[in-house]
Amino acid sequence: MTIAARHAEIDRRYAWDAKRRRETRAPLLITTLRTAELERIYRHRFGGRLPANNIGLAALVVMAEHHIQRNSHDIVIGWIKSRAPWVDDVYAEGIAREAAKRTSRQTAAALGWRVKLTLDERRRLRIRTIRAVGQTAESMAEDRREHDRAEKEAQRRRSGVKTRAQWIAESKAQTKPWEAMGMSRATWYRKGRPTPKPRPETGCSAIKIEKIFIADTPVSPVSVFAPMALRGLTPAPNEGCFLRNESGRYREAG
């Protein structure tokens, strides 16, 4: 057998296995998903117990029809007694027996009409296998695409990706650092996007005073500021600050 013939045989076996999985596991999967979604719907509406009226009885029948497809007869009766304690044993036996007669799976639209699922409930409870009342296939597909977009956007936000508005507000085109450096945008990019240098500080804090001359006599800066400190006073911003003049002597700033 050649290599091409072996590859063809492997492809046929994979296709046969995939077909068998679709035929055997797909109904069980959709039934499991729908059962879980029906549980969310009825717990959202009624809580842990179904009401003892016609609405609760209809919900009990729908749930029993889905539970009987994946559980035994005794398990379904136990579930009926736990969710509807007002049902006696004979009535629970009859509900389970009638539910077992339904072998075909209902469509998403038909099941949505039975449970009266609204579009708000479908979106809030994240229902995927049951169609809301009045919802078409096109609107259902659009709702699915909108949900996927919201999920991807939330994932981008969790990973630290900025929104479009944040990116535009913080972009270089908005801050325009080239204008602060007195050049055009093309020149700024050509020079490697330099950052403006910080301006030197001005005032007393930026002046290094080595000696202070008062009446041509050098004195210590401490002796100049000491009288004000002893009096409990604080010098003004320019008070006690001295600058060198052209002759090399210091004069008081301001």
Report pLDDT for 28: 56
Query: Which of 157, 245, 237 lies closest to 204, judged by CA?
Result: 237
At 214, is the pLDDT very low, low, confident or very high (cuts 50, 70, 90)?
very low
**Quick one: pLDDT band at residue 20, thresholds 50, 70, 90?**
confident
At 170 the pLDDT is 72
Q: Concatenate the DSSP letters of all residues of 64-109 into one string.
A: HHHHTTTS-HHHHHHHHHHH-TTS-HHHHHHHHHHHHH--SPPPHH
pLDDT for res 115 = 92
Sorted by sequence, the CB contacts under 8 Å of residue 230 that are 6+ apart come out as none
Question: How far is Cα 252 from Cα 254, in angstroms, rounded to an integer?
Answer: 7
> Beta strands of the chain (E only): which ranges?
212-214, 217-219, 242-244, 250-252
* Of 33-47, 111-125, 144-158, 190-204, minimum mean pLDDT range: 190-204
Q: How far is CA 59 from CA 68, 77, 105, 111, in A?
A: 14, 15, 17, 11
Nearest-angstrom CA–CA distance, 216 and 250:
9
Question: Residues 237-251: what's their mean pLDDT?
Answer: 49
Which pLDDT belongs to residue 116? Answer: 92
**130/110 Cα distance (integer angstroms):** 9
pLDDT at 44: 92
What is this structure's pTM?
A: 0.51
Look at residue 174 in the predicted model and tell me its pLDDT. 63
Answer yes or no: is pLDDT of 237 > 50.
no
Residue 168 has a pLDDT of: 75
Distances (CA, A) of 86 to 60, 93, 117, 166: 12, 14, 25, 58
DSSP state letter for 143: H
pLDDT exceeding 70 applies to what percent of the chain?
A: 73
For residue 238, name the pLDDT band (cuts at 50, 70, 90).
Answer: very low
Percentage, residues of the chain above pLDDT 90: 11
- Exposure of 83 in the CB half-sphere (CA atoms within 13 A): 23
pLDDT tens per residue, range 132-189: 998 888 888 888 888 889 889 888 888 888 888 887 777 766 677 788 888 888 898 8
Examine the pLDDT at 23 and tell me if it is beyond 70: no
Q: How far is CA 236 from CA 91, 118, 190, in A?
A: 95, 73, 46
With contact defined as beta carbons under 8 Å apart, do 212 and 206 qualify? no
